[in-house]
Amino acid sequence: MLGSEVTKTHCPYCALQCGMEIGPELAISPRTDIPANGSGALCQKGWTAGELLTSGERLTAPLLYGEPVAWDAALDHVAHRLSAIRAEYGPDAVAVFGGGGLTNEKAYSLGKFARVALGTSQIDYNGRFCMSSAAAASIRAFGLDRGMPFPITDLAGADVVLLAGGNVAETMPPFVRHLDGPRLIVVDPRRTPTAKLAWLHLQPTPGTDLALALGLLHLAIADGLVDEAYVAARTTGFEEVRTSLSSWWPERVERITGVPVHQMRQAVRALAAAGKAYVLTGRGAEQHAKGTDTVTAFINLALALGLPGTLGSGYGCVTGQGNGQGGREHGQKADQLPGYRKIDDPAAREHLARVWGIPAEDIPGPGRSAYELLDALGTPEGPRALLLFGSNPVVSAPAAEHVASRIGGLDLLVACDFVLSETAALADVVFPVTQWAEEDGTMTNLEGRVLLRRRAYPPPAGVRSDLDVIAGLAERLGHRFETEPVRVFDELRRASQGGPADYSGITYERIANETGVFWPCPAPGHPGTPRPFLDRFAHPDGRARFVPVEHRPPAEVTDEDYPVHLTTGRVLAHYQSGAQTRRIAPLVRAAPEPYVELHPDLAEQLGIAAGDVVRVSSRRGESKAVARISDAIRRDTVFMPFHWEGANRLTNPALDPVSRMPEFKVCAVRVERDS
Ligand code: SF4
């Protein structure tokens, strides 16, 4: 009986998707059969995840303009309003915004719902704000984005790991156990808990990681460290990159980044001397208006040293959100169809048309990317209605006050959530939905391993799955959608068949029996693909691509009015916009309030003491937070965690031209003691 026995499942939070068991009385313990946390570790978010299920703030009835109503009444109202808005303004007047924490089944259903039931091109998701730059760079270099294209346990066998812009000791602590063996090189403007573990910490000025990566590769070439045999056999384009690097001599890079030449040389020599080595990137390198080029520069370095696609070495992206990998594969992105197919690929459209039973020409084309979609809401050219699933953009989007004002201009906002998040609180209609241990579903972790979350408890009375919301609305719009997760997954398998992310050989039974299955897995008897690039990369000629890229300054540089860099990130106790973790008592005790971290020299210059309330202003807004003084941050930079409303009022929505990633990681601010 549900709730009375132990169920094997996975954590509701980050992309490590630690295995856990949940039993009677919400007792949680780590599993040892899931490699990500096979040593039996969970972080404090995982240990306390049971409290999410019993939160006193759970919604248990749909809200219609703030009043509880019956499910049918809420679904009828939304369907009626959607039909009216579509009739008056056309199908693109309705937008859908998804999330990287949704199960694969929900991500798939949402994409199908947008294209088939609503006929809109206007769908994107918050994963665009997460690892889209690394995804774009991996596709450019390797022809395929599979996050970390190797099992996480491979890392422990390496001699050296370079981690650019990732703070795994706080964001996913069990990851650190995989870094016990190698020498760790960390690139980060802050001396984070991860940087403190490093053999070598390179501390560049925010917004200069790209220059640093160019400098590292320049040194590798100048010092004769390039793996010429690998480059000749497995890549193309090296000569163009070699030529493009001629002016990136180390002293110039030191002037731009602040990283001493001897440290750069130490890093490159350690990587090149290692028999086995990895280059990893996280949000610090990726969340920039040049994020795709920054990751490309680190991939170029890894390729020159002969790492990707070899046993025990490689390049990988440390994806952040729980289903950040699966969330980008099944069709909730503006430019994609299920199976990680391109939406403008005629063959992909024909395939999905057959699965969905509609003419290919009825599938809309690409829509707006996440920030562009939010920025268009309520404008004369933009959507008039927004359906929001698993996302809280009023806290998590850049220029968040502007986004809130755009949302305020909508004719209809519908939110699916299990609590009243800051964005759900603005909605005309809120549907109360199930969460992790109350429903079955698959998640694809940062390794590309497809995992099964099992239903362990019944949801509270009055609560239904997002799949029920989608199917309920689709039915009222004249379409039949599956609601059972396993049936949705079977359809997803067919939809993905033949695509880059082929799940057609994966079943719930296999996942349970094999502790996860790596995609691509194109047939029932196929073993899955833990290391997809060992024999060849995914470009038609099987070779990886070097791509020349150039450094440029951040979209916003410091000046007299805004003289300090702001960078943002996460803390151990909280996850993403904090909508979940800010409701867990032990996590709130551990990290109760927003703060701004300043160097002692900057604090003295500004007359700020630890504990003072500080006002931080940028060209987009203002935010108050408590001052923390620390020499772990550069003198020219302040840090704010983004789990509370505030940090993203300041951040810059300048977009990467390829990935459409906003520049979360650097903008210019003024810092003052609040009088
Ligand atoms: Fe593991 Fe991440 Fe959950 Fe922590 S939040 S227990 S690291 S999956």
Q: Burial, 8: exposed, middle or buried (Cβ in 10 Å; 0-12, 13-18, 19+)?
A: middle
Strand partners, 278: 161, 314
Where the chain has pLDDT below 70, the residues are 1-3
What is residue 54's DSSP assignment? T
Residue nearest (by alpha carbon) to ligand 1 atom 2:
14
Cα 263 from chain centroid (whole Å): 30
Dist. CA 189 → ligand 1 center (Å): 24
* Nearest alpha carbon to residue 533 among 311, 258, 203: 311
Dist. CA 594 → ligand 1 center (Å): 21
**566 neighbors 641 (Cβ within 8 angstroms):** no
Report how far residue 453's alpha carbon sits from residue 443's, in angstroms, rounded to the nearest whole number: 7
Residue nearest (by alpha carbon) to ligand 1 atom 1:
18
Dist. CA 39 → ligand 1 center (Å): 13
Dist. CA 18 → ligand 1 center (Å): 6
Dist. CA 633 → ligand 1 center (Å): 26
pLDDT at 48: 95
Dist. CA 406 → ligand 1 center (Å): 33
CA-42 nearest atom, ligand 1: 6
Dist. CA 35 → ligand 1 center (Å): 13
DSSP letters of 310-331?
Answer: STT-EEEE---STTTTGGGTSS
CA distances from 661 to 303, 516, 607, 643 (A): 24, 30, 35, 19
Dist. CA 394 → ligand 1 center (Å): 24
Dist. CA 13 → ligand 1 center (Å): 6
pLDDT at 162: 98
DSSP letters of 225-256?
Answer: ---HHHHHHHEE-HHHHHHHTTT--HHHHHHH
pLDDT at 539: 98
pLDDT at 130: 87
Dist. CA 144 → ligand 1 center (Å): 26
pLDDT at 609: 97
Q: Burial, 335: exposed, middle or buried (Cβ in 10 Å; 0-12, 13-18, 19+)?
A: middle
Kindly list the structural domains of the chain, giving each domain's residue range(s) and its CATH number in brackets, ordered by start: 7-53 (2.20.25), 63-129+323-444+452-484 (3.40.50.740), 132-318 (3.40.228.10), 564-673 (2.40.40.20)
CA-10 nearest atom, ligand 1: 8
Tokens of 156: 């422990």
pLDDT at 2: 65
Report how far residue 520's alpha carbon sits from residue 138's, in angstroms, rounded to the nearest whole number: 16
CA-175 nearest atom, ligand 1: 7
Dist. CA 16 → ligand 1 center (Å): 6
Dist. CA 602 → ligand 1 center (Å): 34
Dist. CA 443 → ligand 1 center (Å): 13
Report how far residue 279's alpha carbon sits from residue 299's, in angstroms, rounded to the nearest whole number: 8
CA-575 nearest atom, ligand 1: 5
CA-14 nearest atom, ligand 1: 2
CA-172 nearest atom, ligand 1: 7
Mutate which of 29, 43, 48 to test ligand 1's pocket (most atoms within 8 Å of Cβ)? 43
Dist. CA 177 → ligand 1 center (Å): 13
Mutate which of 11, 179, 446 to test ligand 1's pocket (most atoms within 8 Å of Cβ)? 11
Which residues, at least 6 apart from 405, have a Cβ–Cβ distance to it below 8 Å? none
Mutate which of 45, 167, 177 to test ligand 1's pocket (most atoms within 8 Å of Cβ)? 45
Residue nearest (by alpha carbon) to ligand 1 atom 4:
43
Dist. CA 37 → ligand 1 center (Å): 9
- The ipTM assigned to this model is 0.99
Dist. CA 36 → ligand 1 center (Å): 10
Q: What is the pTM of this model?
A: 0.96
Dist. CA 142 → ligand 1 center (Å): 29
Report how far residue 481's alpha carbon sits from residue 484's, in angstroms, rounded to the nearest whole number: 10
Mutate which of 16, 319, 574 to test ligand 1's pocket (most atoms within 8 Å of Cβ)? 16
CA-37 nearest atom, ligand 1: 1
Cβ atoms within 10 Å, residue 240:
12
Q: Burial, 457: exposed, middle or buried (Cβ in 10 Å; 0-12, 13-18, 19+)?
A: buried
Report how far residue 573's alpha carbon sits from residue 44's, in angstroms, rounded to the nearest whole number: 7
Cα 123 from chain centroid (whole Å): 17
CA-16 nearest atom, ligand 1: 8
Residue nearest (by alpha carbon) to ligand 1 atom 6:
46
Dist. CA 12 → ligand 1 center (Å): 8
Secondary structure (3-state) at 608: coil
Residue nearest (by alpha carbon) to ligand 1 atom 7:
172
Mutate which of 13, 321, 449 to test ligand 1's pocket (most atoms within 8 Å of Cβ)? 13
Q: E strands within 264-326?
A: 277-281, 314-317
**89 neighbors 449 (Cβ within 8 angstroms):** no
Dist. CA 47 → ligand 1 center (Å): 9
- Show the ligand 1 pocket: residues with CB < 6 angstroms: 11, 13-14, 16-18, 37, 42-43, 45-46, 172-174
Report how far residue 88's alpha carbon sits from residue 267's, in angstroms, rounded to the nearest whole number: 60
CA-36 nearest atom, ligand 1: 1
Report how far residue 473's alpha carbon sits from residue 576's, in angstroms, rounded to the nearest whole number: 28
Mutate which of 14, 28, 325, 447 to test ligand 1's pocket (most atoms within 8 Å of Cβ)? 14
Mutate which of 18, 435, 453 to test ligand 1's pocket (most atoms within 8 Å of Cβ)? 18
Mutate which of 9, 31, 52, 172 to test ligand 1's pocket (most atoms within 8 Å of Cβ)? 172
